[in-house]
Homo-oligomer: A and B are copies of this chain.
Amino acid sequence: MTPATPRRRGRPSRTESADTPAARDRILAAAREEFSERGYDKTSVRGIAKAAGVDSALVHHYFGTKEQVFEAAITLSFAPAMEAPRTVEEGPLDGVGERLTRFIFGVWENPATRKPLLAIVRSAVNNEAAAAVFRRIIVTQVLRRIADRLDVPDAELRAELAAAQLVGIAMLRYVIKVEPLASADPEQIIKRVAPVVQAHLTGPGL
């Protein structure tokens, strides 16, 4: 499917490129690109090293295993979504449904932040190791922080049910692209979804 991406041929000389913060950044950028273009399964540490113009050993030195490079890469791709808990924290609880829904839509509607998110979803759906990394990040960086703000016993389940509504809309609107949802005005969807997110987070317990 995905055509092989052209690789850089001329490696920069060791002295100016290896074992420096710049090399680390270059490896991370190459890793994001490789994981995004090829998916988790088809990406190798060797391929990342080659694309970054460094030895595989340097990739291992900075990041460890392929799984750990993936974690660093998706942490970066996922960074915009990781701001979600802040929208929950900064304001009254009774407006949390709309703030959170609006924020998540902003991340998905922007092609620059949508593309890396889609790449993470693809990898996580296809590979158990990638799913485990994604799960750890989404739970510790996003869901648990939202749950903490709620301060009720079933807060984590509430946060996950709210997230499920938003994840499902992302799947149907941006991945499967069912109409009319895929072309609907974001404001129209936010109006219908915000009360659901609010109800999951702060509605009466059952």
Give residues 1-19 of A contacting B (CB, 8 Å). 1
Is A112 an interface position by the 8 A CB rule?
no
Complex contact B181–A192 (CB within 8 A): no
A196 to chain B, nearest CB (A): 5
Question: Hey, which chain B residues are within 8 Å of A200, CB to CB?
Answer: 192, 196
Complex contact B160–A167 (CB within 8 A): no
Choose among B41, B163, B192, B206 the residue that contacts A172 (Cβ–Cβ < 8 A). B163
Please judge, given known A-B contacts A122-B126, A126-B122, whether A135 and B168 are in contact too, CB under 8 Å.
no
Whole-angstrom distance between the alpha carbons of A55 and B172 in the complex?
Answer: 37
Say whether chain A's binding surface is mostly helix, strand, loop, or mixed: helix
A36 to chain B, nearest CB (A): 13
Is A115 an interface position by the 8 A CB rule?
no
Is A65 an interface position by the 8 A CB rule?
no
The residue on B at minimum CB distance from A42 is: B1
Interface residues on A, range: 35 or more
Choose among B124, B138, B168 the residue that contacts A169 (Cβ–Cβ < 8 A). B168
Whole-angstrom distance between the alpha carbons of A8 and B143 in the complex?
Answer: 47
Copies of this protein in the assembly total 2
Is A152 an interface position by the 8 A CB rule?
no
The residue on B at minimum CB distance from A129 is: B1
Question: Hey, which chain B residues are within 8 Å of A156, CB to CB?
Answer: 179-180
Question: Hey, which chain B residues are within 8 Å of A199, CB to CB?
Answer: 195-196
Choose among B131, B176, B184 the residue that contacts A138 (Cβ–Cβ < 8 A). B176
Task: Please name the 3 residue pairs, one residue from A and one from B, whose CB atoms are nearest each other, closest first.
Answer: A168-B168, A164-B168, A167-B168
Whole-angstrom distance between the alpha carbons of A169 and B169 in the complex?
Answer: 11
Choose among B121, B135, B179, B196 the residue that contacts A177 (Cβ–Cβ < 8 A). B135
Complex contact A176–B126 (CB within 8 A): no
Whole-angstrom distance between the alpha carbons of A145 and B23 in the complex?
Answer: 55
